[in-house]
Amino acid sequence: MELGACIRGLTVNQTTPNFIPRNQHFLIFRAPPNNQVTCASVKARRIFCCEATAKVNSSSTETVEKKVNTMSADYSWDVQLSSLTALCPLDGRYWAKVKELAPFMSEFGLIRFRVLVEIKWLMKLSQISEVSEVPSFSKEAESYLQGLIDGFSINDALEVKKIEKVTNHDVKAVEYYLKQRCQSHPEIAKVLEFFHFACTSEDINNLAHALMLKEALNKVILPVMVKLIAAICNVATANASIPMLSRTHGQPATPTTLGKEMAIFAYRLGREWREIAQAEILGKFAGAVGNYNAHLVAYPDIDWPQIAEEFVTSLGISFNPYVPQIEPHDYMAKLFHSIIQFNNILVDFDRDIWGYISLGYFKQITKAGEIGSSTMPHKVNPIDFENSEGNLGIANGGLSHLSTKLPISRWQRDLTDSTVLRNMGVGLGHSLLAYKSALQGIEKLQVNETSLIEDLNQTWEVLAEPIQTVMRRYGVPEPYEKLKELTRGRTVTKESIREFIKGLDIPTEAKTGLLNLTPHSYVGAAVELAENIETAISLANGVRLS
């Protein structure tokens, strides 16, 4: 076949391969039956090969420009999946930042945990004396079965998918895969039909999903959350005594310290981290509609609810005894709502930092070669916090749908949860990306004390609050009204404030205290609150930051 291209100077012939390698990504082209393509159709489809710059040796002197004139408008093409062709940016542009979730939240992860549950259930059956048809396994047989779990690979998952093409049922494909893998083992081969014994697909799936979440949270999400909280704590303690003008309603207000404002976010995030870390992940194993119907027909003398509870808890999952066909997903809704709230707090943080950068309170450490604006060379944009905010929005949109949809299932079960559950990794992936973006942004922050001091120097009116409060203590009539008259809508200076204080009829000691007060020193307990933030988080929320 001939390779159509819209790049000048690229020559082809009948021996040209049907793909162009570019940075290990492959662009595959399919020609129509008549093998004809027009330049117009190629340009209309804006094919990726426009980036190609290499030339292909040819015995012909014809250029692509001449050849495409003879090609048909029926041209079609397929593109092999790569980081450049992935529909989801998590699997493309951002893959390097989120790939650590893949072993847990991908379809490979789902299949791997299904295999684990199926094998562990067979091993559990071998431990029940009343199920005499499945004798206790030898150490060698147990080791063989455990090896199937520990050694499960991408190739094994592909084999399961190959079987699924025939069964058109993903869980049944896992059962058949395990039977194939174990039929050569003399001991296990005798009990192959006890794979998936008395199970509905959801007995396997709900535990697999629970394990996916448990592992993804414990090994990826929660540790990154801790890093984020710790990074904000570091900003808080490092700047505990740096005074800063508050801006309630966007207007100059009572001073605080930069560190204390960061400490607030660290504490808030710590509280939500605790909720997520302590979330109870539930599982069921009660058969087709949650009543152990088939179990009791086959073995009526076994306490199957007790067996199910033992099995589920052995996987590190809490047991849900009252279920329809599915585990009702209420715990998922609660968990995802907690993650949404963590994300909302981080959006608040991102926006505040964005604003402080805009005010000049923070500078951003630049990196050689990086560009802020394609046309304005001076710009250093707060892109990390903007990226974080944007991805948190996408994450919360997906997690919100999961939270509201999953607890609702028609009668004993419908399939709407099945397709939705496959998107758990999307919400967690965009969350992870946002956390890492925020961390990257924090690392670039550099406090601009000059800007902070200048703002405070220009806002002596903020001392109206402590002055009128001291006036109240000593019985001066209408203190609020007097300060309102002095400050509201007027330019207030150090001199005008001091003149007002000198004229007050209050004890000398109190007057001296007010005269020594400045916008920079009027920060209350902010310094101590910021300095103690790590201890406060550890005691209240159990977050170990180091």
Which residues are marked as active site? 249, 373
What φ, ψ does residue 161 adopt, rounded to 5°? -65, -35
82 phi and psi, to 5 degrees?
Answer: -155, 180
The β-bridge partners of 430 are: none
CA atoms within 13 A on the CB side of 58: 19
Q: Coil, strand or helix: which one is 382?
A: coil
How many CA atoms does the CB half-sphere of 323 hold within 13 Å?
29
How far CA 99 is from CA of 27, 90, 103, 110, in Å, comes to: 23, 8, 8, 15
- As given in the structure block, the two tokens for residue 313 are 């808890």
Q: Euclidean distance between the first and final Cα of the chain, in Å?
A: 61
Q: Tell me which residue has tokens 């455990």.
A: 146
Name the amino acid, one letter, at 76: S
Tokens of 3: 């390779």
In single-letter form, the type of residue at position 372 comes to G
Nearest-Å Rg of the Cα atoms of the chain is 33
Numbers of helices and strands, H then E, in the chain: 24, 9
The percent helix, strand, coil of the chain (3-state, each to 5) is 60, 5, 35
Residue 196: closest CA among 278, 110, 285: 285
Question: Do residues 229 and 273 make contact, with C-beta atoms less than 8 angstroms apart?
Answer: yes
**Is the separation of the CB atoms in 435 and 225 below 8 Å?**
yes
Cα separation, 302 vs 319, in Å, equals 18
CA 190 to centroid of chain Cα atoms: 45
Distance CA 330, CA 335 (A): 9
Single-letter amino acid code for the residue at 490:
R
Structure-block tokens of residue 197: 């014994």
Kindly provide the b/e burial profile for residues 405-444, where b requires at least 16 CB atoms within 10 angstroms of the residue's own CB: ebeebeeebeeebeeebeebbbbbbbbbbbbbbbbbbbeb
252 strand-pairing partners: 247
Q: Quick one: tokens of 376?
A: 């304005």
What tokens appear for 486 in the block? 């002095």
Query: What is the rounded CA–CA span in Å between residue 29 and residue 71?
Result: 14
Q: DSSP assignment of 243-255, as one string?
A: EEEEEETTEEEEE
